[in-house]
Chain A
Amino acid sequence: MRRYLTPLLFLSPATLLILLFFFTPVVATILLSFTDLSTTTFKNPSWVGLRNYQDLLADPFLKKIFFNTVKYVALTLTFNVGMGLLLALLTSLVPQRIGDPARALWLLPRILPPVVYVFIWQGILAEAPMGLVSDILGVSKNWLVAAPWTVVILANGFVGASFGMLIFTSAIRAISRELFYAAAVDGATTWQTIRRVVLPMLAWPILFVTAYQTLSLLTSFEYILLLTDGGPGFYTTEVWSLRAYHLALSNYFGNVEFGLGAAMAAVLVVIGVVVSLFYLKIFNFKALVSEPKIEIN
């Protein structure tokens, strides 16, 4: 055992934190979902079995929230992947001294603090005289209230598009120059080159981006929370993960229902565990492991 003291030492801080903030929460989410933990019962929650799940299914708004989630994930995903692809292609079709800064500009929505980013959206969409959209269209309205779904998808999409853009760009750069030269010699047009040379090479990256972003969109709610907080009105843009968050952690209604929120989160956690295990399987993990060449520690 002393042989492995050194690796143990190197791994222990990371392992401790991962146990504390990944493994324990996964188990805790599932355990909490079987209790009636709430503000009033925080000190001594009791075991209620599947009641939270029954309540969940009986919730008249569950259907709306479910379809909101599907709509949010499907539309944002489409925008992200489509825009990512479009940006990767466009920035590759112009000289690199323009393409690179353009790509960097598309990183801004991602690296700007979300609060600032969302504030810009809110400001631009506000009523006249501040609101830019109202100013341009000559119709003074709060467009965030008028078209909440469009805004939610666009705001998330402008953040998410850069992920696909970067992955697709690396994939395009990895294509051998000779293929492009050959296509040019064969007299292919730009569109034919994209269609016959580039797109076939992007099949796998597109699958990867789609798979990866489906999972992260399913559980992300930060921008919706800041933009509309599920509104305007009654659950208009409330999605599954936001609903779980509201139930368990927001105190607008005074008494937070931890158990119920945990039940909703547990559904996401289980999906997350299953899907990420599945990724491990398809993205050829073994190829990433090689044996260390030093045997002593």
Chain B
Amino acid sequence: MPILPRNWPLWLLVLALITLPIGVGLLWLLLTALFDQVHGLRPVGAFSPENWRFLFEGSVGGRPSIWVALKNSVFFATAVAGLEVLIASMAAYAISRMKFPFRTPYLGMILVLHAFPAVSLLIAIYYILRVLGLFDTLIGVILVKASLELPLGIWLMKGFFDQLSWDMEMAALVDGASRWTVFWKVALPLVRPGILALGTFALLSAWGEFILPFTFIVSGKSWTLALYMQSFMREAFVDYGLMAAVGLFYATPVLLLFLLGQRYLLNIYSGGVKG
């Protein structure tokens, strides 16, 4: 607020107290991953490379290697983000800048779908993937994930395209460009902030995605890191040290992004991106 209350340190204390659990949770993850034994938050015993054996051993308990899962996760996240950004940008550009019949209803449909809870469609999507022969393939899950986030992506990108100057686009047309050229050479470079925002959002969201691969992927060779880690949760005896190490490994890109770009993340998530 423009005027800070004089007793703001008091409010800070309250804020710190309710935020504490998040910090404690992360600290617990870090300590448990690094040390042999942790009692609560007190490390007992030495630093333990044993927790990190999944990195060196080919497979842990008959699972595929973590490197296979990592490769799948990287492919999954980048493919989803790439597809989503490209397809959403194209559609958003048309909706924002072109004249065609049913433009308004189309935009209305996107907005309805943006609010519509897509998880309720999983059962039918399972059936559709089976029919298309895409069940148990990464490609299938990539298409589903990118599609379910399209309304959000289109909506976000439309907001960015809406702000472009009409004069500039007219100038490009007079200069001899087609709409397609204008899109690639003028419009897209100018909505870079939008592409970065949607791209980051899609990357993070796909990187963490659990329910879709869990539902639509069976074979170990197509496991993503989410499935790899979850497979430990299902075991009767839980090796917390190992799992914490896997979890830390899996969450590292997210934590790095958090450390390097807090402000950037805040902008993305408050910029109308769906919660």
Contact = CB atoms under 8 A, between A and B. Distances in A.
A binds B: yes
Given A11-B106, A111-B204, A292-B99, A28 B119 contact: no
Which bucket holds chain B's interface residue count? 35 or more
Nearest to B11: A93
A279 to B, nearest CB: 5
A295 B21 CA distance: 55
A58 interface: no
A203 interface: no
Nearest to B204: A111
Interface string B172-192: 010000111001000000000
Most A C-beta atoms less than 10 A away, residue of B24, B108, B123, B173: B123
B275 interface: yes
B251 interface: yes
Interface string A215-250: 110111110011000000000000001001100110
B1 A21 contact: no
Contact of B150 (A17, A90, A109, A114): A17
Interface residues of A, number: 121
Nearest to B8: A94
B120 A268 contact: yes
* Contact residues of B: prevailing secondary structure: helix
Given A22-B113, A120-B29, A6 B210 contact: no
Given A11-B94, A11-B106, A120-B28, A111 B121 contact: no
B126 A158 contact: no
A119 interface: yes
B115 A215 contact: yes
Contact of B2 (A9, A86, A107, A177): A177
Interface string B1-27: 111110110011011001101111110
Interface stretch (A49-57, A59-67, A70-78, A258-266): A258-266
B23 A280 contact: no
B244 A294 contact: no
Query: Considering residues B96, B101, B258, which has the most beta carbons from chain A within 10 angstroms of its beta carbon?
Result: B258
Given A115-B230, A119-B229, A219-B119, 10 more contacts: A17-B150, A94-B15, A95-B4, A123-B244, A181-B3, A216-B275, A249-B122, A280-B108, A289-B103, A292-B96
Interface of B: 1-5, 7-8, 11-12, 14-15, 18-19, 21-26, 28-29, 32, 37-41, 44, 86-88, 90-91, 93-101, 103-104, 106-109, 111-128, 143-144, 146-148, 150-151, 154, 162, 166, 169-170, 173, 178-180, 183, 204, 207-208, 210-211, 215, 225-226, 229-230, 233, 238, 240, 243-244, 247, 250-251, 254, 257-258, 262-263, 265-266, 269-270, 275
In the A-B complex, the 8 residue pairs with the closest CB atoms: A163-B275, A135-B40, A113-B208, A14-B91, A25-B124, A219-B117, A10-B94, A104-B262
Interface of A: 4, 6-11, 13-15, 17-18, 20-22, 24-26, 28-29, 32, 37, 83, 86-87, 90-95, 98, 100-116, 118-124, 126, 128-132, 134-136, 158, 160, 162-163, 166-167, 169-170, 172, 177, 180-181, 184, 190, 193, 198, 212-213, 215-216, 218-222, 225-226, 241, 244-245, 248-249, 258, 261-262, 265, 268-269, 272-273, 275-277, 279-280, 285, 288-297
